C-alpha cells in the first residue's frame, strides 16, 4: 500500500523520464497464492556445504508459469550455476543466504526472458555471498552474482549482493523495471561492477553500492532511465559507458547521487565511436573525497580507440553539484573533453560548487565542449583543451556527509553481510519501506 501510494505521487511529480509504469504487474501475494515452490521440497538442503543449484532449477521448472520459487531463511552452498529462462508471472523469494562454493566463471544466477517477475527478500535479509576475496587474493576473477536479461515488468529489491568474484548485478536489455532497497558491497578493485544496466523505462532508486568500480552505470543502448537516491559509498563511480560505435542513449536522469571515497561523481566515457548520448540530466550530486567530479571524457584512454569520429553528446544538463574532490589541481573537478570531430553541444553546468580538500584552487578543463556554465565554450567548431583556474571558494560547497560512510573496504579478506540501510542521500527518504522493517 505504502508502495502504491509512493508510486502515485512519484508519477505526478516526475515527468518525461519514464515512459510508463515499472515493476511486476501482479503482487507477491497473488503469485504465492498460485503456487509456492519451496526449494526444500525439491531436494534443496539448508547447508553451506550442499549445492542449492539443482533445487533452484527444479523449483523454477515447477513454478515458472506462475508462482514463487522460495528459498527459506538459512544458509545454502551453491556450486553449480543456474540459468532460468522463459518464466512468466513468477517470483524468486530469497530469504536465505546463498554462499558461492563453485569456482567456475559465468553467472551464479542468470534469469532471462521472463515477464511479470519479482526478485526479493520478504525479510530484507536475503543475500548472495560471493566470497570473491578467495579469488581476489590469488589475483583472479570469477563468477558474476546475478544477471537479468530481456526481462519485462519486473523488480529487484530488499536483497544484498556481497563480494562478487566479478560483477554484482547486471540488467541487460530489460524494460519496465524497478530496483530498490538493495545493498551491494564488493571488494576494493576494478572489474567488480555494482549495477550495470541497459534497456528502457527503468527506475533504480534507493540503492547503496561499495566496490572499486561502477556504482550504477548505464550501458548502451538505453533510454528513459531514472536513477535516483544512490549512495555510492566507496566505489569507482557512477558512469555512462564505456561507449563505442552505435551509441544510442537518451533521456537518462540521475538525481540525488551521493559519492564518497570514489574515483568520480559521474563519468561519461568513450574513445572514438559514433552515435549519440542526448537529453540527459544529472542533478543534485554530493561528493566528498573523490578523485574526479564531473568527468566527460571522449578520449578515455582505458578504452582502445573505436572506429568513428566520436560519440555525439548533446543537451546534457548538470545542476546542483556540491562537495569537494581530493585535489582539484591534480584532477580537475570539471573535466569535459569532447571529440574534436563531434563537439558537444547544448551542455549546461549550473549551480556547481565543487571545491578541493587540499590546496586552495581547482581547475576546470573543457575541450570542444559548447554550452553554458563552467569552462564550456560559446559558438561552434572545435577547440583544444582549455584550463580555467578557480581560486574563489564557491559558496555552499560544504555539503552534508552520510553517517554510514565507509572508512575502508577490503579486497583479500572476507566481507561480512551488513544490513540494508534506510537512507541513501542526505535528507531524502526512501520511496518504499524495507519489507523486513
Ligand X SMILES: *[C@@H]1O[C@H](CO)[C@@H](O)[C@H](O)[C@H]1NC(C)=O
Q: Supply the minimum distance, in Å, between the C-beta of residue 135 and ligand X.
A: 41
Q: Which residues of 17-46 are buried (b: 16+ CB within 10 A; e: fewer)?
A: bbeeebbbebebeebeeeebbbbbebebeb
Is residue 251 part of the contact set for ligand X (CB under 6 A)? Answer: yes
Question: Which is nearer to ligand X, 92 or 254 (by Cβ)?
Answer: 254
Whole-number Å distance between alpha carbons of 137 and 335: 34
Is residue 315 part of the contact set for ligand X (CB under 6 A)? Answer: yes
Question: Which is nearer to ligand X, 101 or 251 (by Cβ)?
Answer: 251
Q: Which of 163, 196, 213, 255 is catalytic?
A: 213
Q: Which of 157, 168, 205, 288 is catalytic?
A: 288
110 among known catalytic residues: no
**Residue 418 CB coordination number (10 Å):** 15
Q: Which of 51, 214, 279, 312 binds ligand X (CB under 6 A)?
A: 279
Place of cell 549550473: 350
Q: Which residues of 322-332 are buried (b: 16+ CB within 10 A; e: fewer)?
A: bbbbbebbebb
Q: Supply the minimum distance, in Å, between the C-beta of residue 281 and ligand X.
A: 5
Alpha carbon of residue 158 to chain centroid: 15
Q: Supply the minimum distance, in Å, between the C-beta of residue 17 and ligand X.
A: 7
Question: Which is nearer to ligand X, 78 or 369 (by Cβ)?
Answer: 369
Q: Supply the minimum distance, in Å, between the C-beta of residue 254 and ligand X.
A: 12
Q: Is the dihedral of CA 20, 207, 286, 237 positive or negative?
A: negative
Question: Which is nearer to ligand X, 249 or 281 (by Cβ)?
Answer: 281
Place of cell 547544448: 346
Site string for ligand X, 19-38 (x = CB under 6 A): --------------------
Q: Which residues of 185-212 are buried (b: 16+ CB within 10 A; e: fewer)?
A: bbbbbebbbbbbbbbbbbbbbbbbbbbb
Question: Which is nearer to ligand X, 242 or 317 (by Cβ)?
Answer: 317
Is residue 18 part of the contact set for ligand X (CB under 6 A)? Answer: no
How big is the site for ligand X, counted in residues (CB under 6 A)?
A: 5
Is residue 281 part of the contact set for ligand X (CB under 6 A)? Answer: yes
How many helices (H) and strands (E) would you count in the chain?
4, 26
157 among known catalytic residues: no
Q: Supply the minimum distance, in Å, between the C-beta of residue 346 and ligand X.
A: 7
Q: Which residues bind ligand X (CB under 6 A)?
A: 16, 251, 279, 281, 315
Enumerate the active-site residues: 213, 288
Amino acid at each position: 500500500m505504502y508502495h502504491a501510494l509512493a508510486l502515485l505521487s512519484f508519477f505526478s511529480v516526475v515527468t518525461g523520464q519514464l515512459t510508463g509504469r515499472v515493476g511486476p504487474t501482479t503482487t507477491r501475494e497473488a503469485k504465492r497464492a498460485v503456487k509456492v515452490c519451496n526449494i526444500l521440497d525439491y531436494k534443496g538442503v539448508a547447508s553451506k556445504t550442499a549445492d542449492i543449484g539443482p533445487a533452484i532449477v527444479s523449483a523454477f521448472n515447477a513454478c515458472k508459469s506462475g508462482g514463487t520459487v522460495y528459498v527459506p531463511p538459512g544458509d545454502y552452498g551453491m556450486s553449480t550455476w543456474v540459468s532460468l529462462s522463459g518464466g512468466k508471472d513468477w517470483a524468486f523469494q530469497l530469504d536465505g543466504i546463498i554462499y558461492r562454493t563453485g569456482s567456475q566463471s559465468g553467472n551464479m544466477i542468470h534469469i532471462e526472458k521472463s515477464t511479470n517477475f519479482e526478485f526479493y527478500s520478504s525479510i530484507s535479509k536475503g543475500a548472495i555471498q560471493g566470497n570473491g576475496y578467495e579469488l581476489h587474493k590469488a589475483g583472479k576473477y570469477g563468477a558474476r552474482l546475478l544477471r537479468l536479461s530481456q526481462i519485462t515488468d519486473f523488480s529487484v529489491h530488499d536483497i544484498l549482493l556481497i563480494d562478487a568474484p566479478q560483477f554484482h548485478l547486471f540488467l541487460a536489455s530489460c524494460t519496465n523495471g524497478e530496483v530498490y532497497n538493495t545493498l551491494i558491497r564488493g571488494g576494493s578493485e576494478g572489474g567488480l561492477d555494482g549495477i550495470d544496466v541497459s534497456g528502457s523505462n527503468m527506475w533504480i532508486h534507493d540503492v547503496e553500492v561499495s566496490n572499486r568500480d561502477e556504482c550504477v552505470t548505464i550501458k548502451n543502448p538505453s533510454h528513459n532511465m531514472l536513477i535516483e537516491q544512490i549512495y555510492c559509498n566507496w566505489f569507482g563511480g557512477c558512469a555512462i559507458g564505456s561507449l563505442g560505435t552505435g551509441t544510442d542513449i537518451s533521456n537518462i536522469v540521475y538525481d540525488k547521487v551521493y559519492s564518497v571515497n570514489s574515483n568520480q561523481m559521474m563519468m561519461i566515457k568513450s574513445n572514438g565511436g559514433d552515435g549519440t548520448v542526448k537529453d540527459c540530466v544529472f542533478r543534485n550530486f554530493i561528493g566528498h573525497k573523490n578523485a574526479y567530479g564531473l568527468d566527460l571524457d571522449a578520449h578515455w584512454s582505458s578504452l582502445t580507440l573505436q572506429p568513428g569520429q566520436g560519440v555525439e553528446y548533446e543537451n546534457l544538463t548538470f545542476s546542483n553539484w556540491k562537495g569537494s574532490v581530493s585535489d582539484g589541481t591534480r584532477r580537475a573537478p570539471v573535466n569535459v573533453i569532447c571529440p574534436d570531430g563531434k563537439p558537444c553541444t547544448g551542455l549546461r553546468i549550473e549551480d556547481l560548487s565543487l571545491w578541493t580538500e587540499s590546496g586552495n584552487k581547482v581547475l576546470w578543463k573543457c575541450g570542444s565542449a559548447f554550452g553554458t556554465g563552467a569552462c564550456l565554450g560559446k559558438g561552434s567548431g572545435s577547440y583544444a583543451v582549455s584550463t580555467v583556474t578557480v581560486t574563489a571558494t564557491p559558496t555552499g560547497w560544504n555539503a552534508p556527509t552520510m553517517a554510514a560512510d565507509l572508512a575502508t573496504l577490503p579486497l583479500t579478506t572476507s566481507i561480512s553481510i551488513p544490513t540494508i540501510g534506510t537512507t541513501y542521500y542526505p535528507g531524502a527518504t526512501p520511496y518504499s519501506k524495507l519489507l523486513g522493517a
